[in-house]
Amino acid sequence: MSADTPRRIVLLRHAKAEWSDASDLERPLADRGRRDAATAGRKLADTGLAFDLALCSTATRTRETWKLAVQEMPRRPRTVYEDRLYEASLGELIALVNETPDDVADLLLIGHNPGMHALADALAGQADPEALARMTRSGFPTATYAIVEFTGSWKSVEHGTGRLTGYWAPHD
């Protein structure tokens, strides 16, 4: 792929988790979360994006979200379960994105807040006004995703290098 190849990163926050006696890392999805995860998968399938790679946090709720969402997609991308997505700071998330191989055109991250929202905000130097208005109004609730487009190598991704082109939340 050339340096001017359009690339997309989709940031998906895990669906609603139960509050339980389990450790935070082991919290499972709530009933609503299971429904919202499948709906998010259908909405992602409707975008027509064919993900080359999915990076998913190792937390139970993110793995369950991905398992339900990917069942709604036309094909399953290569999936890597990544410990570093759990409790990742904005800088750590950008560093992780920078490691993406350049043969990947469309990347999906399944992670947690505040990181997913912070990354969407940071990367979107430009934005579709409607998508930005919805994200500003709604924040980044569970099972929400944002789509950010950019050109260039994954190594060049940093603050303001992208364009927010899509945003969806379950209550939209």
Cβ-based neighbour number of residue 121 at 10 Å? 19
Residue 18 catalytic?
no
- Cα–Cα distance, 74 to 45 (Å, whole number): 7
Q: CB-based contacts of 56: which residues, under 8 Å, 6+ apart?
A: 62, 63, 66, 79, 80, 81, 82, 85, 109, 110, 111
Q: Is 42 annotated as a binding residue?
A: no
In the set 14, 112, 117, 149, the catalytic residue is: 14
Q: Provide the token pair at 171.
A: 């209550």
> Which of 72, 87, 92, 158 is labelled catalytic?
87
14 is catalytic: yes
Known binding-site residues for substrate equal 61
Residues flagged as binding site:
61
As annotated, the active-site residues are: 14, 87
